[in-house]
Amino acid sequence: MTVLADCPGVTNIVVLPGAAREPAGDVVLCDAARESANELLGRLGWLRTEGSIAVEQVDLSMSEVAADAIEAAPGEPDDAVVWEELAQRLHAETRVTWAYLVFLIIATQLSGIAVVLDSPVLIVGAMVLGPEFGAVAAVCFGLLHRKWDLIATAFRTLAVGFAVAVAVTFACAFVAALLGWIGDANLATNEEMQFIVKPDRWSFIVALLAGAAGVLSITAGKSSALVGVFISVTTVPAAGYAAVALALGQWSEVGHAALQLAVNVLGMVVSGTVVLTVQRAFWPQVGRRSSSWTRPPRHPYG
């Protein structure tokens, strides 16, 4: 209660004595401005072993005291990064799950069909469907905090996902080639589709911009902006093109597509890490402090 009362941006504090049964104890509820979340979680870190903390997003709060709490907290809500929330989310994004594999397989399949049909519309659909940005963001987070195990796990997730997706797409394209449904002519894409397999300086610049926007959309909770990131980079289309080219024995085209994939991932990792570094360095952490309060050790994620 002392921590909650002293932390700026906290209001609507409720105490339910003895309400918890397993484990037994009190239940304490409060509303906190997003800008105050890092300080609050940092001060209450000891509850990890002596209790638990659950955080929920409040979509609507019609209260003058809540508005005053937001004003009292340092910074703006959209600029605040809740590092604990981000850490848990990105750790989850590095798991190789069936859902992750299926989405990536379907996206890569759509990309392969788009190459065959020379369809930019299908390419865009495949870009939106691809789930790989979470693992890329996890690499950025791992680089920021020197968490090498997280980086290794994220790269493994990317490698396994794209390997499985390319293998499945290759198998389907190989069967289609045997049936005479596709041939070398299907790789002769028009000018609108050449961006998939012709990496250049613009490819890297686009990847840099997309990576920065993607990390900002995750930290600020702007999911609509993340869709634009998916449409901007050609990771999944490059994988689909590589699978079709591999099935047709066009090895040079496979190399070009693989290079495009690598350029995009590298660009997103570089800019995403820079954005996280800037957010950690310049996010305002100064709020009011009780004269009797000793500042806790630096929070592990911010």
In terms of domains, do 221 and 103 share one?
yes
Same domain, 132 and 267: yes
Assess if residue 290 is contained within a domain. no
pTM metric for this prediction:
0.81
pLDDT tens-digit readout, 200-223: 888 899 889 988 988 888 887 666
pLDDT at 189: 60
Q: Across the chain, what does the average pLDDT equal?
A: 84
- Tokens 């080219």 identify what position? 245
Query: Domain end: 79, 103, 124, which one?
Result: 79
Asked if pLDDT for residue 279 goes beyond 90, the answer is: no
Q: Across residues 274-297, what is the average pLDDT?
A: 59
Assess whether 170 and 252 both reside in one domain.
Answer: yes
Looking at the domain assignment, is residue 297 inside a domain?
no
Q: Please check whether residue 295 lies inside any domain of the structure.
A: no
Tell whether 160 and 220 lie within a shared domain. yes
pLDDT over 90 (residue 165): yes
The per-residue pLDDT for 287 is: 36
Q: Do residue 56 and residue 151 come from a single domain?
A: no
- Clarify whether residues 94 and 30 are in a common domain: no
Task: Please say if the pLDDT value at position 29 is more than 50.
Answer: yes
Mean pLDDT calculated for residue range 244-252: 89
Section 54-83 average pLDDT? 81
Percent of the chain with pLDDT over 70: 87
Q: How far apart are CA 245 and CA 253, in angstroms?
A: 6
Give the pLDDT confidence score for residue 272 in this predicted structure: 93
50 and 98 within one domain: no
Domain contains 294: no
For 92-111, what is each residue's pLDDT tens digit? 989 999 999 999 999 999 99
Give the domain-ending residue among 79, 97, 123: 79
Residue 249 lies in a domain: yes
- 60 with 188, same domain: the answer is no
Count of domains for the chain? 2
Residue 153 within a domain: yes
User: Are 268 and 163 members of one domain?
Assistant: yes
Range of the domain at 205: 83-282
**Band (65; pLDDT cuts 50, 70, 90):** confident
pLDDT score, position 229:
67
| pLDDT recorded at residue 8 | 85
Residue with tokens 């004595």: 17
Are 124 and 268 members of one domain? yes
Residue 37 sits in the same domain as residue 111: no
Is the Cβ–Cβ distance between 154 and 286 less than 8 Å? no
Q: Specify if 213 maps to a domain.
A: yes
Position 13 pLDDT exceeds 50? yes
Q: 246 and 258 in one domain?
A: yes
Instruction: Please check whether residue 199 lies inside any domain of the structure.
Output: yes
Domain end marker among 26, 53, 79: 79
- Lowest mean pLDDT, pick from 80-84, 146-150, 152-156: 80-84
